[in-house]
Structure 1
């Protein structure tokens, strides 16, 4: 009898509420007109958490960042050379940078249909975008530090400039009302990083000879993922077919995770390189 009771509880948990069509959802949740079904009803915080265990059109978005979040949280510390690097802050900000976008994304997608309505939704979206801004900000600081390693004054100026530029980008991203404006908020940060890559290739910037390619792939994946999310493909070509799996937002999620992995690989290359590098004497 006890085993039967457990089965009944599990069945109730997994059954979930009746899902809604696009036209039956609140207006602030109708941001992809090509995803037609599978919307969760307005829910309490507890009901939002229950949605982790039944199928709906946000489940893929939750787990494509939720699973990597757990893996990053547990596995990344073992691959970061904490005790081998003189500037330990690089390791700390890099680890935080890798976690930030997944934390914000999971919380946003789990609770986006909260009974608090549009106000709660906007707050969660801003928190999600804040996480994306942090990976752009914190993730680039080790790149700036190592690229300008032999120019301390320029190095400090560049890091301060990038932080101020990022603060403006955070404001733009968290207050933007469309996906296009959110993507545009990161343009100046991307151009700044690109100038660093050019300085490594054509100037006197330093760094591992293997990391630059990884960083370029990192930024390329992030940009392409953002564009896919804006264009809303493949669901644009077959509305309703990709409601639960394979839609543009999930593709963007996967590309963001791949981008973070390349950031991690590139940073590890630089950290291994910096241990044996000495700037030339003037």
Structure 2
């Protein structure tokens, strides 16, 4: 069963075919259409434009470019699936599955998105770099477990705190001049995390709809604002990683 918003109240429509259910759910665009636009349009743009914007011929470590592309797609893809099929009346199990997919998308960008950052920061320290990458992957596995088992939005947001602190330690290495990386990428990464944190806080605090209930049901509510800020955060991640990937191609580690 699916709950379909006709604009004149809600009605339940029972459809026997599961395949038809899924198709109709995706076609009912008017149900939360504004929220879906804030995730669907960016997904299409990233899917088409990002591969064209990555200078593959100038990247010496190709897998970093692939990982970065997947990282940028993952949160939008998870969110699109969640919002397209959230009208299913399968109860709590279905909702938890969709929420898990959404959380996996966020965890994937936190995990895959940071790998090029760690790699370029420790470019001249191969052993330390490998250990750091493995540690971050293990930490990310724990973070996704905490995120999908969290029972509140606050705990869900807190589950990503250790990943953020891990990334920040690498930003600190760059700032003091110990770590490598493009001189222009650090400000992009700091802006990236700042936008992500602001978006999460706005979503949790329900600003602005908590002050004017009903006014922001369809447009400009906290969830949509968060989506827009996440898109901005992904763009800053992209710009920073591009700077790093090009820097790797031209930088030569000291031989002593």
The TM-score range, normalised by the shorter chain, is over 0.9
Larger Rg: 1
Q: Could you tell me which residue of structure 2 aligns to residue 63 of structure 1?
A: 37
Task: Select between 202-211 and 185-194 the one with higher mean Cα deviation.
Answer: 202-211
Q: Deviations over 1:89-116 (max 9, x none)?
A: 0000000000000001011011111032
Q: Could you tell me which residue of structure 2 aligns to residue 51 of structure 1?
A: 28
Aligned equivalent of 1:272, options 242, 246, 254: 246
Q: Could you tell me which residue of structure 2 aligns to residue 179 of structure 1?
A: 153
Task: Select between 109-118 and 231-240 the one with higher mean Cα deviation.
Answer: 109-118
Q: How does 1:70-149 map to 2 (within 5 A)?
A: 70-149=44-123
Aligned equivalent of 1:230, options 178, 183, 204: 204
Q: Could you tell me which residue of structure 1 aligns to residue 171 of structure 2?
A: 197
Q: Deviations over 1:64-103 (max 9, x none)?
A: 0100100000000011122222211000000000000000
Query: Whole-Å Cα distance in 2 between the matches of residues 101 and 248 of structure 1?
Result: 17
Q: Deviations over 1:162-200 (max 9, x none)?
A: 000000001111111211111001000000000000001
1:16 Cα deviation after fit: 6.1
Query: Whole-Å Cα distance in 1 between the matches of residues 230 and 148 of structure 2?
Result: 18
Q: Could you tell me which residue of structure 2 aligns to residue 5 of structure 1?
A: none
Q: Deviations over 1:227-263 (max 9, x none)?
A: 0000000000000000000000000000000000000
Query: Whole-Å Cα distance in 1 between the matches of residues 100 and 214 of structure 2?
Result: 28
Q: Could you tell me which residue of structure 2 aligns to residue 168 of structure 1?
A: 142
Query: Whole-Å Cα distance in 1 between the matches of residues 12 and 41 of structure 2?
Result: 24
Structure 1 stretches of 4+ with a deviation exceeding 2 A read 15-20, 39-47
Any gaps of 5 or more consecutive residues in structure 2? 15-20
Normalising by structure 2, report the TM-score: 0.92
Any gaps of 5 or more consecutive residues in structure 1? 1-14, 21-38
Query: Whole-Å Cα distance in 2 between the matches of residues 76 and 219 of structure 1?
Result: 20
Q: Secondary structure at the match of 2:28?
A: helix
Q: Secondary structure at the match of 2:180?
A: coil
Query: Whole-Å Cα distance in 2 between the matches of residues 42 and 202 of structure 1?
Result: 61
Q: Could you tell me which residue of structure 2 aligns to residue 36 of structure 1?
A: none
Could you say if the C-alpha distance between residues 69 and 149 of structure 1 is closer, same or farther in structure 2, counting changes exceeding 3 Å?
Answer: same
Normalising by structure 1, report the TM-score: 0.84
Query: Whole-Å Cα distance in 2 between the matches of residues 19 and 221 of structure 1?
Result: 37
Could you say if the C-alpha distance between residues 85 and 65 of structure 1 is closer, same or farther in structure 2, counting changes exceeding 3 Å?
Answer: same
